[in-house]
Amino acid sequence: MIADRLNIGEETVRRIVTEDLGKRKICARFVPHALTTKQKQERVVYCQELLLMGQDERFGENIITGDETWCFAYDPAPKRPSAERVGQNSPKPKKPRFQKSRVKTTLIVFFFDAEGVIHRQFVPEEQKVNAEFYVGVWIGY
């Protein structure tokens, strides 16, 4: 834009801006949202409280966390029933590999780190997984 307006070459503009003026191009960092001063102070207070709680040896036993993953439907045939007795020179029987199904669903798992899985649930088809859905799953548990 500067080169067009001043009718000079782009390389000349680049050299003037970077070498003569000492400017450099920096991309802005993406942040999900800008915090207000009050929100920043509250975040510091919450973190300090968590640090104090973390000093308790049993603190980790009280943390419940969640995860979700895509699950594909499979229809694998077990290996044993597909076994055959054949002669020494007979070719090996062929068994096609099972393919991932086009049917997939989301599985939500809530678990204790210390105790293992406490709840799991498949998400119904067409259901949006958002905060409201998670709250409903947790309350329903």
What are the tens digits of pLDDT across the range 40-98? 899 999 989 988 888 888 777 777 777 777 776 655 555 566 666 667 777 776 665 55
Q: State whether the Cα torsion 107-112-113-116 is positive or negative.
A: negative
Q: Report pTM.
A: 0.35
Mean pLDDT of the chain: 76
The helix or strand, by DSSP H or E, that contains position 6, with its residue range, turns out to be: helix 2-6
pLDDT of residue 104: 65
Q: What is the pLDDT of residue 67?
A: 73
The span from the CA of 103 to the CA of 62, in Å, is: 36
Q: How far apart, in whole angstroms, are the C-alpha atoms of residue 91 and residue 43?
A: 68
The pair of three-digit structure tokens given for residue 51, joined into one six-digit string: 């640090």
